[in-house]
Chains A and B, each alone.
Chain A
Amino acid sequence: MKKLKAVILDEKVDNVVRQLHEYGIVELCDLSEKLEDVEWKSLLSPSSHADYVRNVTTLMIKAGKILDLFSNVNPKEVSIKDILNPKPIEKKKVQFNTHEEVIEYCEKVLNEISKEVDEPSEKLNELENRKSRLLQLKDQISYLKGLEFDLKDLGPGVYIYIGCGSVPKEKVNELKSELDKVTEEYIEVFTGEEFEKDNKIRVPIVFVTLKEKLESVLSTLRKFEFERYDISDIEGTPKEALQKIESELKNIESKIKSLIEKLKSLSKKWENKLLVVYELLSIEKERGDAYSQFGKTNRTYYIEAWVPAKDAEKAKKIIEESSEGYAFVEISEPDEPEEKIPVLLDNPKPIKPFEMLTEMYALPKYNEVDPTLLIVPGFLLFYGIMLTDAAYGLFLTIVGLWTWKKIGKVSEGAKKLGYILTLAGISTIIMGIITGGYLGDFMYEFLNIDIYKMGLALVNPLGASTFIKNGPIAILEFSIAVGLLHLLIGLIVGFKENIKKGNTGDAIINQGIWILLILAIILGVIIYLVTSNMIVTIGIIGVAALIAIIVCAIKGFQENGIMGALLGAMDITGFLGNVLSYARLLALCLATGGLAMAVNIMAKIVGGSIPIIGIIIAIIILIGGHAFNFVMNGLGAFIHSLRLHYVEFFSQFYEGGGKKFSPFKANREYTTT
Chain B
Amino acid sequence: MVDALLLGAIGAGLAVGLAGLGSGIGAGITGASGAGVVAEDPNKFGTAIVFQALPQTQGLYGFLVAILILFVFKTASPWAMFAAGLATGLAGLSAIGQGIASAAGLGAVAEDNSIFGKAMVFSVLPETQAIYGLLIAILLLVGVFKGAGAVSVAALGAGFAVGFAGLSGIGQGITAAGAIGATARDPDAMGKGLVLAVMPETFAIFGLLIAILIMLMV
Contacts and interface: CB of A to CB of B under 8 A. Distances in A.
B95 interface: no
Interface string A634-645: 011001101100
A588 interface: yes
A598 B191 CA distance: 38
Contacts of A598: 63-64, 67
Given A360-B118, A636-B57, A639-B120, A472 B138 contact: yes
Nearest to A464: B142
A574 interface: yes
Nearest to B117: A360
A643 B67 contact: no
A362 B195 contact: no
Nearest to B204: A577
B138 A587 contact: yes
A470 B139 CA distance: 11
Contacts of A590: 134, 138
Given A360-B118, A647-B198, A580 B209 contact: yes
Contacts of A650: 191
Contacts of B142: 462-463, 470-473
Given A361-B191, A639-B120, A646-B121, A584 B64 contact: no
A640 B124 contact: yes
B148 to A, nearest CB: 19
Interface residues of B, number: 40
A605 B38 CA distance: 39
Interface in B124-150: 124-125, 127-128, 131-132, 134-135, 138-139, 142, 144
A583 B135 contact: yes
Contacts of B174: none
Nearest to B65: A594
Interface residues on A, range: 35 or more
B158 to A, nearest CB: 15
B118 A462 contact: no
Interface stretch (A267-275, A323-331, A446-454, A651-659): A651-659
In this complex, the member of A463, A471, A598, A632 whose beta carbon has the largest number of chain B beta carbons within 10 angstroms is A598
Contacts of A470: 142, 144
A414 interface: no
A584 B50 contact: no
B194 interface: yes
A591 interface: yes
B117 A632 contact: no
Interface in B27-80: 50, 53, 57, 60-61, 63-64, 67-68, 71-72
A471 B188 CA distance: 42
B53 A601 contact: no
Contacts of A640: 124, 127
B121 A642 contact: yes
What secondary structure prevails in chain B residues at the interface with A?
Answer: helix
Contacts of B121: 360, 639, 642-643, 646
Interface string A465-478: 00000111100100
A656 B135 contact: no
Interface in B94-118: 117-118
Interface string B158-170: 0000000000000
Contact of B188 (A362, A576, A584, A586): A362
Contact of A462 (B72, B132, B194, B208): B72
Interface string A326-370: 000000000000000000000000000000000011100000000
B205 interface: yes
A573 B202 contact: yes
Contact of A651 (B187, B195, B205): B195
A584 B91 CA distance: 14
Interface in A565-605: 573-574, 576-577, 580-581, 583-584, 586-588, 590-591, 594-595, 597-598, 601
Contacts of B206: 573
B5 interface: no
B144 A473 contact: yes
B75 to A, nearest CB: 11
B153 interface: no
B168 to A, nearest CB: 12
Contact of B61 (A361, A591, A601): A591
Contacts of A591: 60-61, 64, 134
Contacts of A632: 53, 57, 60
B134 to A, nearest CB: 5
Nearest to A472: B142
B202 A574 contact: yes
B141 to A, nearest CB: 9
Interface in A613-672: 632, 635-636, 639-640, 642-643, 646-647, 650-651, 654-657
B67 A601 contact: yes
A472 B144 contact: yes
Nearest to A461: B138
Interface in B153-206: 187-188, 190-191, 194-195, 198, 201-202, 205-206
In this complex, the member of A361, A586, A594 whose beta carbon has the largest number of chain B beta carbons within 10 angstroms is A594
20 contacts: A360-B117, A361-B118, A462-B72, A470-B142, A471-B142, A472-B139, A476-B139, A573-B205, A573-B206, A577-B201, A590-B134, A591-B60, A591-B134, A597-B72, A598-B64, A639-B124, A646-B121, A646-B194, A651-B194, A656-B191
9 tightest Cβ-Cβ pairs between the two chains A and B = A360-B117, A577-B205, A598-B67, A587-B131, A639-B124, A657-B188, A594-B64, A587-B135, A584-B131
Given A573-B205, A598-B63, 14 more contacts: A362-B187, A462-B142, A472-B138, A473-B142, A573-B206, A583-B132, A584-B128, A591-B64, A594-B68, A632-B53, A636-B127, A643-B121, A647-B198, A657-B191
